[in-house]
Structure 1
Amino acid sequence: MSSPSSTASDSTPPSPASSATTLAALGDLSLKDPASISDKDKAEAARLKAEGNAQFQKNQFAEAALKYSEALEYNPFDATLYCNRAYMRMKIEQHGYAIDDATKAIALDPKYVKAYYRRAVCYLAILKPQQAVTDFKKAVQLDPKNANAKTQLDATVKLVRRIEFEKAIEVGEEESSVTRCREIIAQGGCDVDASYTGIKLPTDADGKYTIDQAFMDSMIATFKDGKSIHRRYAWEIVLASWDLLSKEESLVELQLEEGVDCDIIGDTHGQFYDLVHLLSLTGPPSEKHCLVFNGDFVDRGSWSVEVALTLFAYKWLYPNRVFLNRGNHETKDMNKVYGFEGEVKHKHGEMTYKLWAEVFTALPLATLVSPSLPPIETGKATAILSPEGRKRFFIVHGGLFSRDDVTLEEIKKIPRIGRQPGNEGLMCELLWTDPQEANGRGPSKRGVGLGFGPDVTRKWCELNGVTGILRSHEVRQGGYAIEHDGLCTTVFSAPNYVDQVGNKGAYVRIDARGERSYFTFEAKPHPPIKPMAYGNAGLECWEKDDDYGEDIGKAEIGYYQNYTNKYKFIMVVYYLAPLAATESNSTPEPTELANGKRFQPIIDLGHKPFFGPAS
């Protein structure tokens, strides 16, 4: 097992204070006079704004947001500063804060089209398309010639109708997708035909499919070559995982015996080639080595199927050494928007997506990793220990709760199978919440869940005898960040997230005494298929470098270009038609998606190609 050099550095910029909400800031502004802003202060604000724009061009989004914040200290009446900061916060997925900033920009300039547009984009990102429709309508009303706003408005209206239609259909659907897939298999409807020439899943003495390391190695190699496995094998992997996951409790307990260690892996988000590199660093699961994948296996990255199949197959092969937590992206609504639904339907058909959507609900919500040996005496502050005097760690995708009295036993009993997390309650909070610097609780910077402070973390750890929380859910530039006086660690394992953020990936190793080691790694090259290539409501467009004027610049929706110096990748939501289901056993060749042509989004909701050439 190879072990890269560990590092304890953390270059993560601080999060904005959660108390600085838009409404409070607007109240402060109402007590001031715009005329009181001196020319000197305006000039300093303009200088800082230019520095922020320069950092944006380097993809340093958090740093750019801080520069705009500094500029606002000198001139809090500049609507473009709020709009620019909203855009930066949108880039780092702080959609709640971005909505606040756009709202303030609109309050200062009620005719600010871009502020309405960006607020609508953020509403789409947090799955509130109805609110997005309202803002897109306002943008079109203010600027009837704005083609982007018109396109987005039409697409979002259709998205709302589609969601309502699918919800109506689901009311009448009672049969389990797991049951239906097994019926199809029993009826011979998903047999491996003679024309299939790919790798084959082994069978046992009774002729039933099983799995071994040789198949795992061959499957990973197949995926690296841009090929797929037969749909039947995908079904067998997912169904076998269902049988295992559905028997686990919502809080899984993992005991680390002497000589056993465990790696905690954060978001992988469909970045298959980075996952393969990561597994080469951690080493494969074994009797002496456990892996906990802490949610968000899918969406955004365009190899989400390959990532999910790899993890689920490992779960089948090593059921007591591989543990899969649910993330906020293992949910229907997020899969519809961020790519997994479209990707599965394209590669393995609609029934496969329905199967996966149901199996995702069986994923446990958290894992409690409990080293079995006494902790090492260090002479430092005493760690919070379990009732047995051992260290133990709570592994969860999001974070803590709106209540202080939530116990491990209560988490263990959360009913999850067949359920989506919704917008409130314990399941939602486990998947969505984020740590904040300020004590107490605050509004969510991303618009869903809440923020919890260091005092909340300490109180909960002391109540439950937990040494520390390891969570994911957020990019950290250094790959991980040790927060809340060492009681909360964020680990993120998708390096150079969505091909633009430039962050490192990381994982955390825990040994049988509860000692933690931190490892980081860089992104690896991948075929030229962009993130969100299968998204129904994608997050991509291209922006010219020379478009940075008083505001950040004009987004040109629908470009799909090879990487060049002239364009930088940015994130703007737009709706695209779902891919047609295919019987093919291979993924699209890179040249099909990256041939340098200019493309436009397809808005029609029928089964059509994902991109269409521009006229």
Structure 2
Amino acid sequence: MSDSGSASGSSSKTGSASPAPSPLTSPALSANSSLVEACDPSLPTATAADGAPPGPSAEEVSNIPDAERKARALKLKDEGNAKFLKGLFDEAKDLYAQAILLDDSVPHFWSNRAACELKLEQHGLAIEDATKAIQLDPKFSKAYFRRASGYLAILKPKNALPDLRKVVQLEPKNATVRAQLDSTVKLIRRLDFEQAIKVEAGPKKWEEALELVRDEAGAAAQPPASYDGPKVLDLSPNEVEELKSDRYGADVLGKIDGVFVEKLVEFYKEGGKLPTRYAWQIMLGAFRLFTQEPTMVEYTVPEGTTIDVIGDTHGQLYEFAHMLTLTGPPSETHALLFNGDFVDRGSWSVEIALIIMAYKCAFPKTTLVNRGNHEAEQMNKVYGFEGEVKAKFGGDFTFKLFTELFNALPLATLITATKEPLQGADLPASAPLAQKSPILSAPSVAEGGRKRYFVVHGGLFSKDGVTLDDVRKIDRYQQPGQEGLMSEALWADPQVANGRGPSKRGVGLGFGPDITRKWCELNGVTAVIRSHEVRQGGYAEEHDGRCNTVFSAANYCDSTGNKGAFGRIDAAGTIQWITFDAQDHPMKKTRPPMYYANSGFSGMM
């Protein structure tokens, strides 16, 4: 089940640690900038700090002589730089924070902390720290670049534009930043143009694709005889006749079964390219099935079966394929729930998306898919998926077809156990409070005494009183936007403090342990299971176990050294966490993360 060791109950099995990532330098540096001050964002993570030493109190700081205080601050900065270069971004951030406490007049301290926050996807905090550095030194080019990077990461290119122009003004010979500026200008023009011409009238892309598949025309023509990969077989005449009246063209979408998907995974690992016709048949078949599902899917775990909850995979095919050897495929006795963010950043997002959609076609009842914040058009334009689709299929038609497919994805899944939960004494000592003392009922829930898990990509909401019925009523056939229940479900993050707070990302919000418990009690939910953030061990049980984060992209973006994980839930509602390590693969150097992003954005994350 896992790579080594044993796993039971709410415990997990872990493997060997991944190597530390290589240091990455800033694209916004002049030729004589020092590496010590050059730590700049390239790949985000959200690793947990291993406990940096606490800094002095404000009273203690006031009693330290100025010379000693400044010397200690510089030493802390140097220690932070060393941690950063080892990929220990949370620890580096803590050290920079201690340096700031000792001497808040040094712009590099603020800017370097912003670099850590960009790595941790805390883009809102990075913007604040970079702004402080600029206030201290209005000619500090790296601070402008880091603030621009924060704005670009949260899809606010118009806010980034003045900062990029300032960097070019300060460093006129910096070709990398000039390329970033040019790419940002083009992105703004493109987004404005696309918004201006967007109309609702006319056929949808799925309708156009279906006609081409039916006619075996254009890109949907039959593959050449030389093609030797997995094939989508035609239906029998009787099957075609039975499905001829289906609105979504089931009569021409062919047969996709578990054998086909198994062959497809191996074919992709060997570098194969699926013909456009087969890709469209898979996408159209999955789209047809998703349109039959509600915004919140409800799945009951029958006795003797399990369901695996899988977090972000972000185009990392080789980790994804390895994980499937641990989960096993979906079947009548085993379900897989992919909790969003399977595209962008990694260079095999197309392949992972089509494998997941093929599973949906082959096992529609036991393959469940939630939308993530990266299954969104504007994110795909910045983080590489659009470029990848165009490179692998040509033109923009298939990308637009993917966009319509992503709009049809459900936003959440409610998993309900069918057996009485194990009692506290039967669970391992490591089981969290939510496992030992589960919330089993609520005024709006019929008495049943069964565990229930709300699985969503991001998290909870900006207001109290949001019910499962409110989630069911969300109109999901659209882009998520940056506010409202849909956006919050895809973007929100847990925080340590009670209550709600501004998002460290700059989009969504933070919600505390009290918010999670109150929401679970209102809705009769044992715990929330979400993804959206790296956890160094692959998963984390937070908010007394009532908010669990699972992340499945091991060594995220070939940089962060984290494990991957998935959660297995049985019919009694007991969660078992299974972890795994990153996998080496032959394309690591030739297809690095963000390979397909616009050239001006490929170094941004």
Equivalent residue number for residue 420 of structure 2: 374
Supply the AA of the counterpart residue of 1:369. I
Supply the AA of the counterpart residue of 1:432. W
C-alpha contact (below 8 Å) 2:183/2:601 kept by paired residues: no
Of 283-292 and 425-434, more deviation after overlay is shown by 283-292
Equivalent residue number for residue 391 of structure 1: 451
Q: Distance between the aligned counterparts of 2:102 and 2:357, measured in 1?
A: 53
Task: Pick 1 or 2: higher relative contact order, CA cutoff 8 A, min separation 6.
Answer: 2
Deviation at 1:423?
Answer: 0.7
Pick from 222, 231, 236 the counterpart of residue 205 of structure 1: 236
Pick from 334, 348, 363 the counterpart of residue 409 of structure 2: 363
Alignment of 1:489-528 (within 5 A): 489-526=548-585, 527=587, 528=589
Deviation at 1:167?
Answer: 1.8
1:127 aligns with 2:155: yes
Q: Distance between the aligned counterparts of 1:66 and 1:36, measured in 2?
A: 20
Pick from 368, 378, 382 the counterpart of residue 323 of structure 1: 368
TM-score relative to the length of structure 2:
0.84
Q: Distance between the aligned counterparts of 1:525 and 1:145, measured in 2?
A: 38
C-alpha contact (below 8 Å) 1:339/1:538 kept by paired residues: no
Equivalent residue number for residue 129 of structure 2: 101
Alignment of 1:198-347 (within 5 A): 198-199=228-229, 200-206=231-237, 208=252, 209-347=254-392
Cα 1:114–1:203 change in 2 (3 A) is same
Secondary structure of the residue that 2:233 maps to in structure 1?
Answer: coil
Q: Distance between the aligned counterparts of 1:100 and 1:250, measured in 2?
A: 36
Cα 1:501–1:12 change in 2 (3 A) is closer
Supply the AA of the counterpart residue of 2:450. R
Cα 1:475–1:262 change in 2 (3 A) is same
Equivalent residue number for residue 544 of structure 1: none
Supply the AA of the counterpart residue of 1:394. F
Equivalent residue number for residue 20 of structure 1: none
C-alpha deviations, 1:495-550, integer Å up to 9, x for none? 00011011100111111001111111000012131011111266544xxxxxxxxx
Equivalent residue number for residue 400 of structure 2: 354
Deviation at 1:309?
Answer: 0.5
TM-score relative to the length of structure 1:
0.82
C-alpha contact (below 8 Å) 1:196/1:230 kept by paired residues: no
Secondary structure of the residue that 2:413 maps to in structure 1?
Answer: strand
Q: Distance between the aligned counterparts of 2:298 and 2:3, measured in 1?
A: 26
Equivalent residue number for residue 27 of structure 2: none
Of 177-186 and 511-520, more deviation after overlay is shown by 177-186
Deviation at 1:108?
Answer: 1.5
Count of aligned positions: 530
User: RMSD between aligned alpha carbons?
Assistant: 2.4
Deviation at 1:184?
Answer: 1.9
Q: Distance between the aligned counterparts of 1:344 and 1:204, measured in 2?
A: 28
Supply the AA of the counterpart residue of 1:531. P
Alignment of 1:133-148 (within 5 A): 133-148=161-176
Deviation at 1:147?
Answer: 3.2
Q: Distance between the aligned counterparts of 1:150 and 1:342, measured in 2?
A: 21
C-alpha contact (below 8 Å) 1:384/1:391 kept by paired residues: yes
List gaps (5 residues or longer) in structure 1: 17-28, 542-571, 574-615
Q: Distance between the aligned counterparts of 2:350 and 2:210, measured in 1?
A: 20
Deviation at 1:473?
Answer: 0.2
Pick from 9, 13, 16 the counterpart of residue 48 of structure 2: 13
Secondary structure of the residue that 1:235 maps to in structure 2?
Answer: helix
1:536 aligns with 2:571: no
Q: Distance between the aligned counterparts of 2:101 and 2:504, measured in 1?
A: 20
1:191 aligns with 2:237: no
C-alpha deviations, 1:327-382, integer Å up to 9, x for none? 00000000001111111111123211111110100100000000111111215752
C-alpha contact (below 8 Å) 2:2/2:580 kept by paired residues: no
Q: Distance between the aligned counterparts of 2:597 and 2:175, measured in 1?
A: 21
Secondary structure of the residue that 2:198 maps to in structure 1?
Answer: helix
C-alpha contact (below 8 Å) 2:49/2:88 kept by paired residues: no
Cα 1:481–1:88 change in 2 (3 A) is same
Deviation at 1:13?
Answer: 2.0
C-alpha contact (below 8 Å) 2:503/2:510 kept by paired residues: yes
Cα 1:394–1:172 change in 2 (3 A) is closer
Of 288-297 and 189-198, more deviation after overlay is shown by 189-198
Deviation at 1:317?
Answer: 0.6
Cα 1:478–1:193 change in 2 (3 A) is closer
Equivalent residue number for residue 57 of structure 1: 85
List gaps (5 residues or longer) in structure 2: 15-45, 52-57, 241-251, 426-432, 442-446
C-alpha contact (below 8 Å) 2:382/2:601 kept by paired residues: no
Pick from 187, 201, 206 the counterpart of residue 178 of structure 1: 206
Equivalent residue number for residue 402 of structure 1: 462
Q: What is the percentage of aligned positions where both structures have the same residue?
A: 53
Deviation at 1:310?
Answer: 0.5
Deviation at 1:195?
Answer: 4.0
